[in-house]
Structure 1
Amino acid sequence: MTESLRVAIVEDSTLLREGLVRLLAEAGFETVAARPDATDLDETITAAQPDVVVLDVRLPPTHRDEGVRAAIRVRATHPQVAVLLLSQYVETTYARELLAAGSRGIGYLLKDRVTDLEQLRRAIEDVAAGGTVLDPQMVEEMLRARADPLARLTPRETQVLRAMAEGRSNAAIARELVVSPGAVEKHVTSIFGKLGLEESAAAHRRVLAVLQFLGA
C-alpha cells in the first residue's frame, strides 16, 4: 500500500519540508508536490493527483489558520484526497473545525510525532484509507475541554473573561490589553459561544460567563 500512495506537502519551513520529503521516501511514499504555502493548492492537486495532502496548520501569509482553511477546502473540493495537518502546538479549536468538515480521511498530529517514522507511516496510511487520526495529546486536551468548557478558551479569551469578572467594561478591557474595542467584542462573542451561552432575553450572558469563571 505504501508504494502506491502519493503525497503532497504544504509546509513553509524549508528545513521541515525537505525533511518530510526524505522521511516519506524512507517510508515508501511518493512525494508528488512540495509547496511553501497553500496558494494554488487546488491546481496542484488537480495536476499532481495526490492521495494525501500533508499541511502545516500555520501557513503564510498570516501564519494563523491558513492550513486549516486549506484542509477544509481540500475535503470539500477533492473528497477523494485525505488530509493530515501538522501543528507545533495542541490547538483543539482547529482540530474541531477540521472534524466538523467531515470525519473521514483526516488527521491532526503534533510535529514532534513526525520524527517517529512508523507513526507517520501509519497516520498517512490510515487517513488515505478513510480513517481519522488524532494526536494522543490532542484527544486528551479535547476530552478535558469537553469536561471543562473554560478549558476551551484561548489565553487571550481567559484574560478578557477575568477582566469581565473584575467588572471592567469592554472599553476598559481594550485599554488594558492594548487592543481595539472591536477585538474585545470578538473575544467576548467567542467566549459566549465556547461556554454555550446563547443569546436570550431571559438571561444576561455576560453575568453567566462570569459566574462560570468564578465557579471554576
Structure 2
Amino acid sequence: MDKIPYTLRRSNRKSIGFTINAEGLRITAPKWVSQEIINQAIQEKKPWIQSKLLQWQQHATPVLHWQDGMQLPYLGRQIIVQLDPQLASCRYQGNYNLAQDNDILSVNLPYTASAQAIKTACTHWFQGRALAWFETRLHHFQHSSGTKPVRLGLSRATTRWGSCNSDGSIRLNWRLIHLCPELIDYVIAHELAHLKEMNHSPRFWAEVGRILPDYQAAKARLKQTSLRELPLL
C-alpha cells in the first residue's frame, strides 16, 4: 500500500486513535499494540485518512512571499502591495470603500525592506481599515437593530469571526476585512442580534433577519469560508 506519513505516540489508552490536523496524521496507540496491528488499522482507515488529509490541504493557509508586487485580499478583492520609500505613510490608490482587483496599496518602506517589515506594515494598515469599516457598518445597522454595543474591539481569534459578551461588548475578527462586504455585514448583524438574544434560538435568528433581511445567503457562504484559507498576517 502507499505509505501515509504519520507520527506515533504510545499511551495507556485501550484503543488506537487517529488525529488529523495541519501537521498531518498523528496516531496514538496502546503500549502493547504491535506495529503490525497499527499498519492494519491504518489500512482499514485509509479512505477516511486520505479524505481528511485532502480537506486540510485544500484549506491550508496560503504561503505568502512578503515582497514588492505581492497580492492580498481586501474586501473580497485582490489588491497589489507596492513599496514606495518616498511616502510618509501607507496610501491606497483607489476607493478603499469600494475595492477593485489590482488596486494598489503603497507601503512606505524601502525596496530593501525585510519580509517581516512588509508584513508588519500591511498588518497595521489592514487592522486600521478593519476598525474603520466595522465602526461604519455598526453605525449603519444601529437604526434597524435598535441596539448599540458598549464597546467594539478587534479580535485575533483563529477560529471565530466574532463574539458578543453579556456586558454589551462586541469583538470582531479583524481578518474579516479580507472578505467581501456582504459577509462582514452578516457577522456584524449576527453579533448585534446577540445583544438581545444570547443564544441561537428562533428568536435570535428572527432578530438577525430583522437587522439583515435575506441573511441566509451570506450565512451559507461564510460556512464555506475558513480562517485557514486567509493569508496569515
Establish whether TM, by shorter chain, passes 0.5.
Answer: no
**Highest RCO, 1 vs 2 (Cα 8 Å, sep ≥ 6):** 2
More strand by percentage: 2
TM-score in terms of structure 2 length? 0.24
- Structure whose alpha-carbon radius of gyration is higher: 2
More helix by percentage: 1
TM-score in terms of structure 1 length? 0.25
